[in-house]
Chain A
Amino acid sequence: DQQVKQNSPSLSVQEGRISILNCDYTNSMFDYFLWYKKYPAEGPTFLISISSIKDKNEDGRFTVFLNKSAKHLSLHIVPSQPGDSAVYFCAAEDTNAGKSTFGDGTTLTVKP
């Protein structure tokens, strides 16, 4: 049973518009959430994160929103740029256990 789900395998947006990537989780023990970005033939790189005590975290063009009651988080990229085209993984962590659980990723394509 998948504890972290990214229901959209792919997303295509126009350059300059907003990209919204979604993630749902089921385990109430998760208290920290991360987004990673992955280019082909490279490992994932950390992008942005949020603690369960917050509902929003912003870093430049990237904002993560957390809705604990719905067990849902989303990553907003504004404005989207062609260089943002990559696979985005949502990950959740129970900080007491220290292990991250990943979703299956969403492939974002930003068209010029």
Chain B
Amino acid sequence: GAGVSQSPRYKVAKRGQDVALRCDPISGHVSLFWYQQALGQGPEFLTYFQNEAQLDKSGLPSDRFFAERPEGSVSTLKIQRTQQEDSAVYLCASSLGLAAAYNEQFFGPGTRLTVL
């Protein structure tokens, strides 16, 4: 595909369930970012990969959040034992490098997670 894709687009989970959100970056993009966007707010950084290496996970809100990119391409964000405060849009972005100043970040459409 030409852009970043994410699946599912919408996910409804019962509190306590585990969820897995998928991101397919643009082919050849070594950098991959996950953001969380709560209603009415801007995207907040969660974690960053360069190829398969997770170089920064400082934004993950708790140890219930886990991200992986085992082969340096597709990435999965997993949330264990979901809570209502996890309800948000989860955005994935990819780029050719780290800093947005030098490498444009391309965002996917996001996955809207609703925890009941």
Q: Do A and B come from one complex?
A: yes
- Of chain A, the residue at the smallest CB distance from B55 is A98
Rounded to whole angstroms, the CA-CA distance of A89 and B43 in the bound complex is 9
Q: Is B2 an interface residue (CB 8 A)?
A: no
Among A49, A51, A101, A104, point to the contact of B40 (Cβ < 8 A). A104
- Of chain B, the residue at the smallest CB distance from A46 is B104
Q: What's the interface size class on B, roughly?
A: 20 to 34
Rounded to whole angstroms, the CA-CA distance of A32 and B107 in the bound complex is 19
State the main secondary structure of chain A at its contact with B: strand
Nearest-neighbour CB distance to chain A for B108, whole angstroms, equals: 5
Among B41, B48, B101, point to the contact of A93 (Cβ < 8 A). B101
- Of chain B, the residue at the smallest CB distance from A90 is B42
Of residues 5 through 49 on chain A, the ones whose CB sits less than 8 Å from some CB of chain B are 6, 9, 31-32, 34, 36, 41-46, 49
Interface size for A (C-beta < 8 A) is: 27
State the main secondary structure of chain B at its contact with A: loop
Given A44-B43, A99-B56, A104-B42, check contact A49 B107 (CB 8 Å). Answer: no
Rounded to whole angstroms, the CA-CA distance of A42 and B59 in the bound complex is 23
Rounded to whole angstroms, the CA-CA distance of A26 and B34 in the bound complex is 24
What 1/0 mask marks residues of chain B from 34 to 77 whose CB sits below 8 Å from any chain A CB? 00000011111100100000001001000000000000000000
Contacts of A93 in B (CB 8 A): 99-101
Rounded to whole angstroms, the CA-CA distance of A76 and B108 in the bound complex is 26
Nearest-neighbour CB distance to chain B for A15, whole angstroms, equals: 27
CB–CB B109/A41 < 8 A: yes
What are 16 A-B contacts with C-beta separation under 8 Å?
Answer: A6-B42, A31-B101, A43-B91, A43-B107, A43-B109, A45-B106, A46-B106, A49-B100, A51-B101, A91-B100, A93-B99, A98-B48, A98-B98, A98-B99, A104-B40, A105-B42
Contacts of A36 in B (CB 8 A): 107
Contacts of B108 in A (CB 8 A): 43
